[in-house]
Amino acid sequence: METSQQKEQFSNAYLQAVTSVAGYSLYKPAVDDDSVDWGIAARGIIGRIRSPRLELQLKSTSRDVMKDNAISYPLKLKNYDDLRMVDFVIPRILIVVLLPDNPDEWVQQSEQELCMRYCGYWLSLRGMPETQNTSAVTVTIPRNNQFTVAALESIMQGIGQGIQP
């Protein structure tokens, strides 16, 4: 398997792990869309909305994108433009999963635990400005935007209250 495919599958597994623990279901969009890899759906009333939903683009990288307080990730211009728009029915976010260069280091497993390295970070590009760049835009994701179970729950609860991420 190509390393890029391995990374994609690993980031899928990371997303599935977080979503499962949060108690939401993952779905693949009904139509092939360059900027949506997955959707997340909650079941049952959260706030004012019966079934909050979120859609996302999932990226993975082992490049050195970590700065002091943020991740600087170069995003293709098309993806940037698709994700920054405000007129979607279902809100969209970007998730970037950082992982070690060597696949042997991605998972550490024992009888007590399964540790996945390193971490995913999320960002909403909603309402970000148009750019003059021609191929890619480097987006900055705060390090405290870790894509954790609590973060996902918070995003979904927000959507349930009518607050877009």
Partner 1 sequence: MKVTVEDAQIIKNIEPQELRDYLQSHGWYEDGQFLDNATIWHKQVAEEGEFEILLPNTKNVRDYILRIREAIETLAASENLSQLEILSNFINNYPNLKLQGFVTQIATPHEYKLSGEITIVCPVFDKLRKIKTELKDHNYILAIKAYQERLPIVCMGDLSKENDIFVLKSPRSFQIDNI
Using CB under 8 A as the criterion, which residues of the chain lie in contact with partner 1 when the complex forms? Answer: 29-31, 33, 36, 48-51, 53, 55, 82, 85, 87-91, 159, 162, 164
Q: How far apart are CA 100 and CA 148, in angstroms?
A: 19
Among residues 3 and 154, whose Cβ is nearest to partner 1?
154
Minimum CB distance to partner 1, residue 18 (Å): 23
In angstroms, give the least distance from the CB of 154 to partner 1.
Answer: 16
Q: Are 107 and 43 within 8 A, CB to CB?
A: no
Shortest Cβ distance from residue 30 to partner 1 (Å)? 4
CB closer to partner 1 out of 89 and 114: 89
Structure tokens at 11: 């980031």
- On whether the CB atoms of residues 125 and 94 are closer than 8 A, the answer is yes
User: In this complex, which beta carbon is closest to partner 1, that of residue 75 or of residue 116?
Assistant: 75
**Residues 6+ positions from 99 with CB-CB distance below 8 Å:** 7, 10, 11, 60, 61, 62, 106, 117, 118
